[in-house]
Amino acid sequence: MKILNIILREKFDLNKLSALPKIAWEIAQRAQEEININIVSNGTKKEIKKFNKKINFIYLPGSYLSFFDNTLSFIKEKNNQGIIYFLGSLSGGCIFSWRARTYPNKIILNLINGGISVKDLKFIRLYDLFLQPSNCILHPSVLGKPVELFFSKFLQNGNITKIIVQSQRLKNKIISLAPKAKVEQIQFGVQQELLDFKIKHPSMEKLLLYFGHIYSVRGIDDMLISIDSLLEEGLKIKTKLIITPETNVKFLKKILSQFPKVKENTFLIKKYIDNPGKNICDSDLAFFLYRFSGEIPEYPLALLEIMAAGIPVITTNIGAISELFPKNIASYCLVKPGDIKNTVKKARNLLSNIGLRNLVIKTNKNTVAKMTWEKYYDKVKTLLF
């Protein structure tokens, strides 16, 4: 029986399926019928847990280089000739390719983040540089630029058979670093159930939504300022914030305390959710206001899920996000980072104009209908077997 080794440099937890663990799990569930699976992730100590006869969870210690070395040593010790399926960023993929250059295993790199572009750096606020340097200027996506420069040549290694990317932006970048024939754009991934949700009919009181991780440079304060402005205009609004518990909740509460009206009308839900549908489908409008593309996948998973569920969305024209919005709706859904005036204007339009709402909902659903996990795996499967 063949072996598939799925590698991700963060701890895998079935209760906390963020983007990388989610991809690993979606592949593992489908591939186990035909192949044995090792999901190798970061842990405090070396530990192996059997999920079933076909899927093993392997936790290995180490930070960055040492984790990659520990992973490759584990594969070598077990005389494991299986496929290595690496999940991570471009800079991480470059380093892993360098460390794995002498290994005979077939390697597939699935890169979900291409880092921050020079043009996006201008959207980082000065106080973020001083107050949260590790979240922006010292972030791996920025520090990874020299890594890409020095180690990208290893993307051309013969044992790397395919490099999978989400966006056209990242595809263009990788093609400049690796043979074009190795690069393939395969987009993940939403549940079919989200696409099947019925569209909500707007009510008098509007429910606004943010769903996902919270970081200080992701524009959550831009969202709260915008909602405060809508409340000042007299709109009847409730806000639901569904966030992962460990991601800077203190920062969010501090910002929220500066807007008493918003805080009074806000539900704060701190948990990972198994079924996003039942938690988000009552929303009238969702916000994904980012300032720093280095922190997010090329196509953020939570954003795709919101689009699939038929909730109109306002998001930031940063990184590769604009690729998700065709010209007929881009001007209604995309704003520049920090552009509160246009955020408020577009939110008002999407909350009140039924024809526009329906156009945005239909277009968004059609866009992400091509990105179900089934379609993602069908394409990946051709590379594995």
- Strand order across the beta sheet in which 266-270 lies: 266-270, 237-243, 206-212, 285-288, 313-316, 334-335
CA distances from 132 to 124, 135, 155, 225 (A): 11, 5, 32, 20
Question: Could you give the 3-state DSSP secondary structure of residue 107?
Answer: strand
Helix (H) or strand (E) holding 50: strand 47-50
Q: What is the pLDDT of residue 134?
A: 63
Answer yes or no: is pLDDT of 362 > 80: yes
User: Total structural domains in the chain?
Assistant: 2
> Max alpha carbon distance in the chain (Å)?
67
Between CA 194 and CA 177 the distance in angstroms is: 36
- Are residues 377 and 314 both part of a single domain? no
Is the domain of 10 the same as that of 61?
Answer: yes
Q: Which residue matches tokens 């993602």?
A: 376
Q: Which two tokens stand for residue 139?
A: 């972030």
SS3 of residue 212 by DSSP: strand
Pick from 167-181, 186-200, 265-279 the range whose average pLDDT is largest.
167-181
Residues 162 and 265 in one domain: no
Residue with tokens 């290995």: 60
**Half-sphere exposure for 138 (CA within 13 Å, toward CB):** 8
Domain that holds residue 198: 192-370
Q: Regarding predicted confidence, which is higher, 114 or 146?
A: 114
The separation between the first and the last C-alpha atoms of the chain, rounded to the nearest angstrom, is: 12
CB 31 within 8 A of CB 37: yes
Specify burial of residue 3 (Cβ count, 10 A radius: 0-12, 13-18, 19+): middle
| 181 lies in the same domain as 244 | no
Min mean pLDDT across 13-22, 85-94, 160-169, 363-372 is at 13-22
- Residues 313, 379 within the same domain: no
For residue 305, the domain's CATH number is 3.40.50.2000
Query: Are 212 and 338 members of one domain?
Result: yes
158 closest CA partner among 178, 174, 184, 173:
178
Structure tokens at 138: 């010292």
Q: Residue 216 pLDDT more than 70?
A: no
Statement to judge: residues 376 and 326 lie in one domain = no
DSSP 201: P
CB 354 within 8 A of CB 3: no
Same domain for 281 and 177: no
275/346 same-domain check: yes
The tens digit of pLDDT for each residue in 32-71 reads 999 999 999 999 999 999 999 999 999 999 988 899 999 9
Q: Provide the whole-model pTM.
A: 0.91
Average pLDDT over residues 110-119: 82
Higher pLDDT, 207 or 123: 207
What pLDDT, on the 0 to 100 scale, is given for residue 273? 76
287 phi and psi angles, rounded to 5 deg:
-115, 135
Does residue 145 register a pLDDT over 70? no
The identity of residue 136, as a single letter, is: C
pLDDT digit string, tens, across residues 319-357 = 899 999 999 999 999 999 889 999 999 999 999 999 999
| Pair (144, 240) in one structural domain | no
CA dist 287 and 311 (Å) reads 10
The verdict on 23 and 102 lying in the same domain is yes
Q: Do 341 and 202 reside in the same domain of the chain?
A: yes
Residue 39 has φ and ψ, to the nearest 5°, of -100, 110
25, two tokens:
């799990």
